[in-house]
Chain A
Amino acid sequence: MDSPILRLIAQRVALGILLLFAVSVLIFVGTQILPGDVAQSILGNQATPQALANLREELGLNDPAYIRYFKWLGGILTGDLGTALTSGQDIATSLGGRLQNTLFLAFWAAVVSIPLAVSLGLIAVRYRNGPVDKAISGFALASTSLPEFFIGYLLVYFFAVKLQWFPGISTVYDGMPFLDRMKAIALPATALTLVVLAHMMRMTRAAILNVMQSAYIETAELKGLSAFDIIRKHAFPNAIAPIINVVMLNLAFLVVGVVVVEVIFVYPGMGQYLVDHVAKRDVPVVQAVGLIFAAVYISLNIIADIAAIVANPRLRHPK
């Protein structure tokens, strides 16, 4: 490995970290400077001015905004996410288990959807413009238009209510046996898979097709190589980077999809937690969870970019 590639990766990571700080500012600004009053929202419209003033003092709302920001940021960097206004509980403690639950769900959705999407994409390219390709494309077009809750409730309606194969509400608890846990997440994981599958497949198809239409594929064909060899030796090495890119970008979709899916299945994860506290206007929780979601999203994007850098022969073997 030569230095230019390492330099590019280092640049990309540095940029990501910078972006993360900028995002923290944005989230902070979005929740603090907008014309809502946290104290007012907690106490409601009937609150006495005295009570409001006391609460503001208690929450440090009388400090200038930038001081509050640095206090908040300092806390986050040391692992202190603050205290939930509504319950008074420590946010970091409440989040721990939920973060695990969410990651567990997203992990299994990814394990199913990535190989499925990539192979469907490959099949679509192999039989391109044929009925199989058209069917796959049609399915993809339809399912990118479906709201998550439509997929979710269809699954519940058929598999939980009519067939009663899986529970319609995904209850999980600490120390739950693995198989029970898998059964509990079967429907939400399927819903999530369907949410990202179409996008991922469409993008994989486009990425591979782009490679297959290159002149060097024609060269390989004119050397008398078999279709399998052409794909293995000539298409695959060039398609791998765009595919990794596609996968990472879609995992980022998954991060968003998880919010709605958790609410549908009443699954005790981060998304459910976020939505509950948005409704309660519990700003510290919203800030913390929003930042975590953004961090995951940004990291996935960085990985996607690094994959593209590493797989580019022009960068790997500079002149």
Chain B
Amino acid sequence: MADHETRPDGAAAALLDIRDLKIEATVYPPGEDPHDVTIVDGVSLMLEKGKVLGLIGESGAGKSTIGLSPMGYGRGGVRITGGQVLVNGRDILKVGTRGLRKLRGREVCYVAQSAAAAFNPAHKLMDQVVESALQHGVATRAEAEEKAVALFRKLSLPDPESIGSRYPHQVSGGQLQRVMTAMALCPEPDLIVFDEPTTALDVTTQIDVLAAIKDAIRDTGVAALYITHDLAVVAQVSDEIMVLRHGKTVESGKTEQIIHAPREDYTRQLVSVREIVHKEKEQSGAPVLSVNNVTASYSGDVDVLKNISVDIYPGQTLAVVGESGSGKSTLARAITGLLPPREGNVMFAGRALSPRLAERTKDDLRELQMIYQMADVAMNPRQTVGTIIGRPLEFYFGMRGAERDKRVAELLDKIEMGEGFLDRYPAELSGGQKQRVCIARALAARPNLIICDEVTSALDPLVANGILKLLLELQAQEEVAYLFITHDLATVRSIADSIAVMYRGEVVRYGPKSQVLKPPFDDYTDLLLSSVPEMEIGWLEKAIAGRKMESAGN
């Protein structure tokens, strides 16, 4: 390890000491001259040996950019233009390219969000894991490989002896993320930067990777910068947390203080983001939509949906919960007619819907609307907000001119956006605004049921919260039912009246919210429920200890 110097004032030097960091980038907006924007402004932080600092913030907060600064690295034209970054006591902004090369992969290592992209597809995992140790002369090949195998074992990877001889595409995403952690630990660095290492994973896989990372940090005594947008996740692994917004520090302090006694308003919002209270409605009357024994497959050999039956009652929300590959989005495709079921039928307001989209009447189509996960691609980028919301009015109700404009204005009002947005294009809206416009487009058809496919997953927590509140308000006003597809159980608690848990194409648990979330649980629901990070220190250990079933990632 590098020498530990002492500071002129005599205090023990911190491992990482960032002072008044300023980071800029040049942007090239179309139709304007290129100019510089400040991404990070005046951020200072200090990290001692063996400690973990969590950096948290929404997209655009500059957290990844700060995370890469201890390696002197800027992505895509990003430049560090001010301040100091001291690693082991020396300012790495002054050490030059050679100095940086000695530091990277030796003193500071990096774990990326997508390990699948970060591994070279042409080389075996072992070659890549030991590469930095060999590059920096930390160990011989044999020693490094031995160390790697020990790390694979510590990170509870299956077949620790032989997994290194596989290629990246032969290993699952959750495992690859752990191999990448092993790769970062192999040269025994002083600091590891974890950049959203579990964001791309399913919840039940995330908890394993999180636990593995936490154990590895504890056992090796390495310090870490842990970057994430999820406060509950970072609360499990960090000693301290720094909250960032628009490239500036909002608040920083001990994890306990941030979680339990946040000083700033913004932090308070982040902490309380999951606390929408939604009272379950009584099931009454005939269901608006009944899915009866639906079985469906894409190519014919493997059933993606197996004998699914669920009901949705007027003005209520059925949440369909499951991980990737559970068939929850396929269910939406079967209901909308995009994927005609092989068996079973879908009843809508007492009448059977044609299995094929092409055979449905205009009224069937109108009463069943859909909102998508990625609002950016759910709207035609060449149409204005006015056209996007106005089209269903023209199409279903034949509204034209002033009548249509009046209704569009009403709808814009309902989604809490003013008429000023009429002539905007989707590219000129924020993520939350885009999703609101999609909601207005669905409402314009005056539907009885809206299918919401992961509508908040791509949004920052606070924005997602706003969307959920809006959906609940609109449900109360318009008496519309929702089929709410999500992987996030916290969201389910806030919005659902009844819940269907899906696993590998089957509904494993179904009923009113109060029953589904009440023990005793089946094994999968237990795993799913226990895997959702809670804003509570020590939750991770409790959850791991109390589990009945191994996650699918293992």
List CB contacts (< 8 Å) of B75-115 with chain A. 75, 100-106, 109-110, 112, 114
| Contact assessment for A222 and B109 in the assembled complex, using a CB-CB cutoff below 8 Å | yes
Judge whether A219 and B110 touch: CB under 8 Å: yes
In the bound complex, what is the Cα–Cα distance between A221 and B120 (angstroms)? 12
Q: Is the CB of A313 within 8 A of B131?
A: no
Q: A214-B117, A215-B117, A317-B167 are in contact. Are A222 and B122 (CB under 8 A)?
A: no
Contact of A224 with B121 at beta-carbon distance under 8 Å, contacts A219-B112, A319-B170 already known = no
A222 to chain B, nearest CB (A): 5
Chain B hits for A237, CB < 8 A: 120, 122-123
Report the nearest A residue to B71, measured CB to CB.
Answer: A222
Is the CB of B476 closer than 8 A to any CB of chain A? no
Give residues 459-498 of B contacting A (CB, 8 Å).
Answer: none
Q: In the assembly, what is the distance between CA of A109 and CA of B128, in Å?
A: 40
Known: A215-B114, A313-B169, A319-B170. Contact between A223 and B132, CB under 8 A? yes
Number of B residues with CB within 8 Å of any CB on chain A? 30
Asked whether B425 is an interface residue with its Cβ less than 8 Å from the other chain, the reply is: no
State A221–B109 Cα separation when bound (angstroms).
Answer: 11
Closest to B116 in A: A215
Residues of chain B from 120 to 136 with CB closer than 8 A to chain A in the complex? 120-123, 128, 131-132, 135-136
Sorting the interface of chain A by its residue count into under 10, 10 to 19, 20 to 34 or 35 or more gives 20 to 34
A3 within 8 Å of B (CB atoms): no
Assembly CA distance A155 to B56 (angstroms): 64
Q: How far is the CA of A224 from the CA of B114 in the complex (A)?
A: 20
Complex alpha-carbon distance, A225 and B102, angstroms: 9
Q: Which residue of A lies closest to B113 (CB)?
A: A215
Q: A222-B104, A224-B101 are in contact. Are A216 and B135 (CB under 8 A)?
A: no
A238 to B168, CA, bound (A): 14
Task: Decide: B121 and A314 in contact? CB cutoff 8 A.
Answer: yes
**Chain A residues, Cβ within 8 Å of B170:** 317, 319
Is there an interface contact between B117 and A222, defined as CB atoms closer than 8 Å?
no
For residue B73, CB closer than 8 A to chain A, the reply is: yes
| Interface membership of A46, Cβ < 8 A | no
Chain A hits for B152, CB < 8 A: none
Q: Which residue of A lies closest to B124 (CB)?
A: A317
B118 at the interface (CB under 8 A from A): yes
Pairwise interchain contact B73-A222, C-beta atoms closer than 8 A = yes
What string of 1s and 0s marks CB contacts (under 8 Å) between B296-326 and chain A? Answer: 0000000000000000000000000000000
Interface residues of A in 202-243 (CB under 8 A from B): 214-216, 218-226, 229, 233-234, 237-238
Q: Could you list some 24 contacts between A and B, CB below 8 A? A: A218-B75, A218-B112, A218-B118, A219-B110, A219-B112, A222-B71, A222-B105, A222-B110, A223-B105, A223-B131, A223-B132, A223-B135, A224-B102, A224-B135, A225-B131, A225-B135, A229-B135, A237-B120, A238-B120, A238-B122, A313-B167, A314-B169, A317-B166, A317-B167
Chain A residues in the interface with B (C-beta under 8 A): 214-216, 218-226, 229, 233-234, 237-238, 313-314, 317, 319
Residues of B at the A interface (CB closer than 8 Å) are 71, 73, 75, 100-106, 109-110, 112, 114, 117-123, 128, 131-132, 135-136, 166-167, 169-170
Across chains A and B, which 6 residue pairs bring their CB atoms closest together, nearest first?
A: A223-B105, A224-B104, A215-B117, A224-B105, A237-B122, A223-B132
